[in-house]
Amino acid sequence: MAVLRIVSTGDPDEEVLHRPAARVREFGPELHRLLDDMLETMRKAPGVGLAAPQVGIGQRISVIEYPDDEDDPENTMRVYELINPEIIKKKGSEVGQEGCLSIPGIAADVDRCTYVLLKAQDRTGREFRLKAYDWLARIFQHEIDHLQGVLMTDKAEKLYRLVKNRDGEVEAIPLEEKM
């Protein structure tokens, strides 16, 4: 496995972050290697979600790692590999503060659905459906937006700069103007 370079806004190649990604049609070793590398890249960052455009690849692929059950004391993590994901049902609305590996140092308040039903393919091409609520639903919507070329800053109601205070804690300082 290899750690890939994450494309950030402001990079010369940031255009890949702003255009819709292409459907995946080949489910072979090349895709499997990319999924493994994306997982390693996301863990190293560290982050909870990473979409292929964020590593410069304009394909509808995302990896997510999130606890299976937030109340589980063992905090067992679950890895989701989403190929060609689509939201087929959604409900509810809640504003929450998000971050993005491609927009370092910034947080955004974004209104998201609190429930989504997804359709996607796994690494072998098999189709599956997945329900998610609350924070996991938010992560899925953030990632699927990446695959449409949409960033959290495009939808944000409010933006914050993340700064470390004297105690080394990260604070979110509101930005006056939208970026």
User: Which residues would be at the binding site for Co ion (CB under 5 A)?
Assistant: 100
Least distance between Co ion and beta carbon 94 (Å): 18
8: its two tokens: 């950030």
Closest CB to Co ion among 19 and 126? 19
CA 172, 177, 16, 28 dihedral sign is positive
Least distance between Co ion and beta carbon 23 (Å): 20
47: its two tokens: 């982050």
Which distant-in-sequence residues (6+ apart) come within 8 Å of 99 by Cβ? Answer: 47, 106, 107, 108, 152, 162
Closest C-alpha to 60, from 28, 90, 25, 13: 25
Residue whose beta carbon is closest to Co ion: 100
Catalytic residue among 30, 143, 157, 171: 143
The count of residues in the chain is 179
Burial label for 146, CB within 10 Å (0-12, 13-18, 19+), is buried
Our answer to whether residue 15 is catalytic in this structure is no
Least distance between Co ion and beta carbon 132 (Å): 16
> Residue for token digits 């929450």?
96
Instruction: Give the integer Cα–Cα distance in Å for 116 and 130.
Output: 8
Rg (CA), the chain: 16
Least distance between Co ion and beta carbon 47 (Å): 8
The catalytic site residues sit at: 143
